[in-house]
């Protein structure tokens, strides 16, 4: 899939009386890791759901390359190469690590709706043909030794890595990560961070939504700070860290 820049142009979303996302504009270029931080309720997950096509925009536009994907449905967005992870781990706990990654290839062929697919045990029979490809991904991320371990037996940090590998099997050109290191210790987070760097190094853009400031600062070239739905600061980590509005709204809190 040809990599394209994701562009948000004046994106807004209203829930009743609440403007959860207000006039947000930024872009994520191929190979770039862009951070999105902000306190609880800032609108981060809403923004991810808008990009992923799970919520409609109230106003504004979302573009992938030159294509306007503002009104595209979730399966269409997934087919366009935008993949996402969720705030909670979604793996088949009784199935092997290898099968969990292979399901990513299967989803690409059949239905990009992983959540729906994961509810269908019958799908497992069809993933065997893609096991070799899945194994290659495991090798790349030093997880080959876990190939035949049930996913549910892994540590939380390793489960998150398996999720990332499954996402990669979709061959996305952009990945949306909603709090990928929540609940991890620094060692686990850093291991995942190196995987993200490897993914970005292949030209895949990453939008990293995170609470863990240290982690975001270490990975992102550019960080957008969201507060009450609005971008209050945007720039390189050092600049954002010392921005008075950010300190007041977020870091100081």
Where on the chain is the footprint of ligand ADP (CB under 6 A)? 15, 18, 20, 38, 40-46
- Tell whether residue 85 is a contact of Mg ion (CB under 5 A): no
User: Residue 88 binds which one of Mg ion, ligand ADP, none, with CB within 5 to 8 A depending on kind?
Assistant: none
- Tell whether residue 46 is a contact of Mg ion (CB under 5 A): no
Q: At what angle do helices 97-109 and 156-169 cross, to 10 degrees?
A: 30
User: Residue 46 binds which one of ligand ADP, Mg ion, none, with CB within 5 to 8 A depending on kind?
Assistant: ligand ADP
Distance CA 165, CA 68 (A): 28
Scan for tokens 């009450």, then name that residue: 228
Tokens coding 164: 């990332």
Least separation in angstroms between CB 193 and ligand ADP: 21
Tokens coding 151: 């996913």
Nearer to Mg ion, 2 or 40 (CB): 40
- Tell whether residue 212 is a contact of Mg ion (CB under 5 A): no
Least separation in angstroms between CB 58 and ligand ADP: 12
User: Residue 40 binds which one of Mg ion, ligand ADP, none, with CB within 5 to 8 A depending on kind?
Assistant: ligand ADP
CB 2 within 8 A of CB 80: no
| Residue from the set 7, 45, 96, 224 that interacts with Mg ion by CB under 5 A | 45
Distance CA 243, CA 25 (A): 19
Interface with Mg ion (CB under 5 A), residue total 2
Edge-to-edge strand order for the sheet containing 222-227?
Answer: 82-85, 174-178, 205-209, 33-37, 222-227, 230-235
Nearer to ligand ADP, 37 or 143 (CB): 37
Pairing of strands 222-227, 6-15: unpaired
């Amino acid at each position: 899939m040809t990599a394209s820049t994701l562009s948000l142009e004046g994106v807004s979303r209203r829930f009743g009386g609440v403007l959860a996302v207000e006039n947000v504009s930024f872009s994520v270029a191929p190979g770039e890791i862009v951070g999105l931080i902000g306190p609880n309720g800032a609108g981060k997950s809403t923004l991810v759901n808008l990009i992923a096509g799970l919520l409609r925009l109230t106003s504004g536009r979302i573009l992938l390359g030159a294509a306007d994907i503002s009104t595209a449905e979730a399966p269409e967005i997934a087919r366009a190469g935008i993949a996402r992870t969720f705030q909670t781990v979604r793996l088949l706990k009784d199935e092997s690590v290898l099968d969990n990654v292979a399901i990513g290839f299967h989803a690409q062929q059949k239905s990009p709706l992983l959540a729906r697919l994961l509810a269908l045990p019958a799908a497992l029979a069809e993933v065997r043909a893609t096991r070799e490809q899945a194994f290659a991904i495991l090798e790349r991320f030093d997880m080959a030794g876990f190939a035949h371990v049930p996913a549910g037996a892994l540590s939380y940090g390793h489960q998150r890595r398996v999720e990332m590998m499954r996402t990669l099997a979709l061959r996305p050109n952009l990945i949306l990560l909603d709090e990928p290191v929540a609940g991890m210790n620094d060692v686990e987070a850093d291991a995942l961070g190196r995987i993200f760097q490897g993914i970005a190094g292949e030209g895949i853009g990453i939008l990293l939504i995170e609470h863990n400031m240290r982690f975001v600062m270490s990975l992102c070239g550019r960080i957008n700070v969201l507060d009450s739905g609005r971008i209050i600061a945007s720039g390189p980590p050092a600049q954002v860290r010392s921005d008075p509005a950010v300190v007041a709204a977020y870091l100081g809190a």
